[in-house]
Amino acid sequence: MSATFLGMPATPPRSPYGTGNLRGDRKFPAAAHDELRNEQLRSNLGRATHTIRAKRLHVTGELPDWEELRDAGSAIKTDTMNRLPELLEELERNVTARGGTVHWARDGVEANEIVARLVRETGSDEVIKVKSMATQEIGLNEHLESLGITAHETDLAELIVQLAHDKPSHILVPAIHRNRDEIREIFLKEIPGVDPSLDNVPAHLAGAARAYLREKFMTTKVAVSGANFGIAETGTLSVVESEGNGRMCLTLPDTLITVMGIEKVLPRYQDLEVFLQLLPRSSTGERMNPYTSMWTGVTPGDGPQTFHLVLLDNGRTAALADRIGREALNCIRCSACLNVCPVYERAGGHAYGSTYPGPIGAVLTPQLAGMHAAKDDPNSSLPYASSLCGACFDACPVKIDIPSLLVELRHQHTEQSGTTAEKLAMKAAGAVMSRPKVYTAAQKASRLGRALARDGKLPALPPPLNGWSDSRDTPAPPKQSFRAWLASAEGAAAMREASAEHTRDQQQEDGK
């Protein structure tokens, strides 16, 4: 073999097993079993998702060019993924030229180390944070805490989740599973010096959070943020939010550290025109979100004087290497697919065990972290956590065909699973049903089921079908299949009579 042979290109690494928040501790059906019994969660989720759905439909319906916007968003993202390496290098050049420093993190572990080092260099043992999924994905807060650095979440819902030592259950509404009585309890217990007479009026709860957070904004020297978009052409970063807490974090501290997934890059500044229309309308159902912050490197005398951008891979290149699956990287995390998903609406976000729940999470999580990393990997259940109803595809502002991606991941799963009972059954079914004679014989054999039936219904079915028969009756097989009927004298007579009826109708028409 010649010395220049470099071997097959290795599969790009996924998020390392056992790190970050991209894998639950059990499979979806087991986790959903418990969540389905949480009445509070189900009613909160039902109410919230229905409200957001209606708002979204209203503000997307009023735009005459909504479909064209979706097409544009999809095209820009697809173009971005097709030339991701060059765009990232362009982004790095432009951020550096404007006084920022760019760091490349292969995975969450590296990103956590980089951020921790940068925080330490400032001498601070506290950071304030803008809501960020990337840092949740890699478990940054936990990592910082293990080093004695306290991270304060400043988004109201994230703050509630953090104070409750909980995990977010929704991309956009992380505390959707909590009601205001619970929030009051959490605040009374966790916010130092809070007024003990605090009641459950939303404005009062927000006031308590505000007083607590203002103090943090004024005294903390370092902030960590995520980014919704990074513009290659100019080196501009952008955060889109509702509360203004993000704006405070992005402007008040001395040092800003932004952790951005590499798929968030956009080629041109002009592309924001499309995404700043798509994102708020799809996510909160607003025409425009209240705060859109943009910054480019460092501006002397204005805002943070030290800016670091950490570009995070953590399995994204592995997703990009998948010809069909890469479409999932087009996601702009609007959460529209979650809000329309009937499975998410019932089971809730925690059942997915990942920072990314719902339809897109069921695709993205296995792509980033793998689904065969251990025996019975919980992530292998995620692609099956969908009835493939397609509501997500219709809602997605960048037209990601999520049902097809789920089917693709199911296929990847069965291909990697070796021989299973299910695969043998599928093979057998395929073999029977591709031989009409054998198929007809099997059909006849199914009539035997009639012997077991009572009142025309089959009794409870054995595993793995017992879940079905727990809540649904199964009709007994009919006396005769369609094909047997058609071949019978009765069937032939019925078809002859139907044709004759047409002829009679024709004659009547003609006779008129």
Partner 1 sequence: MRIGLFATCLGDTLFPEAVKSTAVLLARLGHEVVFPPGQTCCGQMHVNTGYQREPVPLVRNFADQFGDASIDAVVMPSGSCAGSVRHQHELVAERYGDAALRAGVATVRAKTYELSELLVDVLDVTDVGAYFPHRVTYHPTCHSLRMLRVGDKPLRLLRAVDSIDLVELPEADSCCGFGGTFAVKNAETSTAMLQDKMRNVTSTGAAVCTAGDSSCLMHIGGGLSRIKAGARTLHLAQILSSTRTSPYVLTEAAR
Residues found near partner 1 in the complex (CB under 8 A): 28-29, 32-33, 36, 42, 342-343, 346-347, 383-391, 393-394, 407, 410-414, 422-423, 426-427, 429-431, 433-434, 436, 439, 443, 446, 457, 464-465, 467-468, 470-475, 477-478, 480-483, 485-486, 491, 494-495, 498-499, 501-502, 506
Positions in 280-309 near ligand SF4 (CB under 6 A): 282
The item of ligand SF4, partner 1, none sharing an interface with residue 290, based on CB under 5 to 8 Å by kind, is: none
Residue 370 region, left (φ>0) first, then alpha (ψ -120 to 50), else beta?
A: left
Instruction: Compute CA 110 distance to the chain's CA centroid, rounded to the nearest angstrom.
Output: 23
CB of 336: closest distance to ligand SF4 in angstroms? 4
- Shortest separation between residue 405's beta carbon and ligand SF4, angstroms: 9
Distances (CA, A) of 31 to 28, 349, 357, 395, 481: 5, 10, 13, 26, 40
Whichever of 320 and 406 has its CB closer to partner 1, that residue is 406
- Select from 81, 114, 160, 337 the one that contacts ligand SF4 (CB under 6 A): 337
Stretch that binds ligand SF4, among 9-17, 48-56, 298-306, 332-340 (CB under 6 A): 332-340
Judged by CB, which is closer to partner 1: 74, or 296?
A: 74
Identify the residue among 336, 362, 385, 409 touching ligand SF4 (CB under 6 A): 336
Query: Which helix (H) or strand (E) segment is 368 a member of?
Result: helix 358-369
Residue 391 in contact with ligand SF4, rule: CB under 6 A:
no
Nearer to ligand SF4, 27 or 281 (CB): 281
Smaller CB separation from ligand SF4, 173 or 337:
337
How do beta strands 236-241 and 291-296 pair?
antiparallel
209 lies in the binding site for ligand SF4 (CB under 6 A): no
DSSP, res 472 = -
Cα–Cα distance measured from residue 181 to residue 135, given in angstroms and rounded to the nearest whole number: 29
Question: What minimum distance in Å lies between the beta carbon of 451 and partner 1?
Answer: 16
Shortest approach of partner 1 to residue 502 CB, angstroms? 4
- Does position 318 bind ligand SF4 by CB under 6 A? no
Q: Which strand (E) or helix (H) includes residue 229?
A: strand 229-231
Of 56 and 143, CB closest to ligand SF4: 56
Output 161 or 363, the one with its CB closest to ligand SF4: 363
Distance between CA 237 and CA 228 in Å, rounded? 8
Q: How far apart are CA 315 and CA 322, in angstroms?
A: 11
| DSSP 8-class letter at 257 | E
Tell whether residue 349 is a contact of ligand SF4 (CB under 6 A): no
In this chain, which of 84, 395, 405, 406 binds ligand SF4, going by CB under 6 A? Answer: 395
List the single partner that 346 binds among ligand SF4, partner 1, none, CB under 5 to 8 Å by kind.
partner 1
Residue 472 near which of ligand SF4, partner 1, none (CB within 5-8 Å, type-dependent): partner 1
Task: Strand 236-241: give its sheet, edge to edge.
Answer: 265-266, 229-231, 236-241, 291-296
How far from 503 is each of 283, 494, 497, 498, 512, CA to CA, in Å? 58, 14, 10, 9, 14
Minimum CB separation of residue 466 from partner 1 in Å reads 8
Q: Is residue 266 at the binding interface for ligand SF4, with CB under 6 A as the rule? A: no
Q: Which does 208 bind (CB under 5 to 8 A by kind): ligand SF4, partner 1, none?
A: none
Nearer to ligand SF4, 19 or 242 (CB): 242
Query: Scanning residues 351 to 390, which ones bind ligand SF4 (CB under 6 A)?
Result: 360
How much of the chain is helix, strand and coil, in % rounded to 5? 55, 10, 35
Closest by Cα among 186, 156, 190, 187 to 174: 156
CA distance 307 to 236: 12
- 29 token code pair: 């059906």
SS3 string, 233-244, reads CCCEEEEEECCC
Picked from ligand SF4, partner 1, none, the partner binding residue 467 (CB below 5 to 8 A depending on kind) is partner 1
Extended beta strands in 362-412, E state: none
What minimum distance in Å lies between the beta carbon of 330 and ligand SF4?
7
406 binds ligand SF4 (CB under 6 A): no
CB of 178 to partner 1, least distance (A): 21
- Does 400 engage in binding with ligand SF4 (CB under 6 A)? yes
CB nearer to ligand SF4: pick between 185 and 401? 401
Is 396 one of the binding residues for ligand SF4 (CB under 6 A)? yes
Q: Is 398 in the site for ligand SF4 (CB under 6 A)?
A: yes
Site membership for ligand SF4, residue 335 (CB under 6 A): yes
> Binding of ligand SF4 at residue 319 (CB under 6 A)?
no
d(CA 90, CA 489): 76
Pick the stretch among 4-12, 215-223, 269-277, 391-399 that binds ligand SF4 (CB under 6 A): 391-399
Q: Show Cβ contacts of residue 283 under 8 Å, excluding neighbours closer than 6 positions.
A: 172, 289, 334, 335, 336
Q: How far apart are CA 119 and CA 121, in angstroms?
A: 5
Tokens of 493: 């007579």
| Nearest approach, Cβ of residue 512 and partner 1 (Å) | 16
- HSE, CB side, 13 Å, CA atoms: give it for residue 270: 2
Q: In whole angstroms, how far apart are CA 265 and each of 5, 83, 330, 398, 471?
A: 33, 11, 10, 15, 48
- Dmax (CA) for the chain in angstroms is 99
Interface positions with ligand SF4 (CB under 6 A): 282, 331-337, 360, 395-398, 400
